[in-house]
């Protein structure tokens, strides 16, 4: 069954939370497992509508990441080359396509996810759905200043301290951008161990590498 577009958009923070839990269990059971290096396969998805562009920041100035390439129907992007990433095949989330990448370093994990679908949805509707999802999963979640990603205005959501998380995951940081393209909507989310220099640098480099399809 296909979820409504706004509800599907709200699932990205939940998806990364579930992925973090799953990756932690996998790491506990079999540490040191190798990650594939091939590109993630493309998936057929598409979105629409756009509004509220007045607060968009200038284009990203960071050097683009030049590591493993991820390709979906909505975008191509590259992950930081400093890490080894596992990119499993995309999965269906209520009709939306979810592509994820994970890097595990001991008890720390960095997760990147792309959620996309084709029903028409304005950027404000998309942001509202994503913020609801973040607030359901994190103790602190808020809208940040809008920015520009590959020429498209994007909303920003930042969140910290996952609900129910303990130990090394208690300070996890979540960052999400979302855009409404001509024929599809897309959100890109990042979950990292903390809001620190490495996390911010990897987020900026990944976003700088994005090219909309």
> DSSP letter string over 32-96?
T-----SPBPP-----B-----TTPPPBP-SPPP-SSEEE-SSEEEE--TTS--B-PPPEEETTE
Domains, in order of start, for the chain: 5-212 (3.40.1000.10)
CA 126 to chain centre: 14
What tokens appear for 145 in the block? Answer: 């200043």
* Mean of the per-residue pLDDT values of the chain: 78
What is the arithmetic mean of pLDDT over 120-128?
88
Say how many Å lie between the first and final Cα of the chain, rounded: 26
177-211 pLDDT per residue, tens: 999 999 899 999 999 999 999 999 999 999 999 99
By the 8 A CB rule, do 166 and 74 touch?
no
By the 8 A CB rule, do 141 and 158 touch?
yes
Let me know how many helices (H) and strands (E) the chain has, helices first.
4, 10
**Secondary structure element (H or E) that encloses residue 200, with its range:** helix 197-208
How many CA within 13 A on the CB side of residue 169? Answer: 23
Share of the chain above pLDDT 70, in %: 69
51-108 pLDDT per residue, tens: 333 344 444 579 999 999 999 999 999 999 999 999 999 999 878 899 999 999 988 9
pTM of the model: 0.77
Measured in degrees and rounded to the nearest 5, phi and psi for residue 115 equal -120, 130
133-169 pLDDT per residue, tens: 999 989 899 999 999 999 999 999 999 988 877 765 6
By the 8 A CB rule, do 6 and 180 touch?
no
- Give the Cβ contact number of residue 10 at 10 Å: 25
> DSSP letter string over 6-31?
HHHHTHHHHHHHHHHHHHHHHHHHST
């Amino acid at each position: 069954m296909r979820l409504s577009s706004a509800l599907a958009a709200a699932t990205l923070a939940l998806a990364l939370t579930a992925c973090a839990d799953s990756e932690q269990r996998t790491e506990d059971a079999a540490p040191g497992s190798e990650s594939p290096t091939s590109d993630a396969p493309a998936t057929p998805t598409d979105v629409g509508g756009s509004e509220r562009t007045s607060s968009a920041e200038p284009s990203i100035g960071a050097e683009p990441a030049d590591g493993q390439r991820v390709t979906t129907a909505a975008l191509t992007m590259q992950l930081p080359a400093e890490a080894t990433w596992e990119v499993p095949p995309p999965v269906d989330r209520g009709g939306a396509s979810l592509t994820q990448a994970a890097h595990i370093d001991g008890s720390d994990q960095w997760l990147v996810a792309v959620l996309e679908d084709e029903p028409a949805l304005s950027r404000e509707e998309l942001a509202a759905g994503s913020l609801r999802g973040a607030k359901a999963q994190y103790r602190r979640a808020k809208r940040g200043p809008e920015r520009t990603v590959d020429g498209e205005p994007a909303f920003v959501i930042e969140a910290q301290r996952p609900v129910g998380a303990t130990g090394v995951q208690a300070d996890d940081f979540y960052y999400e951008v979302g855009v409404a393209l001509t024929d599809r909507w897309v959100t890109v989310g990042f979950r990292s161990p903390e809001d620190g220099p490495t996390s911010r640098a990897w987020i900026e480099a990944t976003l700088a590498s994005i090219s909309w399809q």
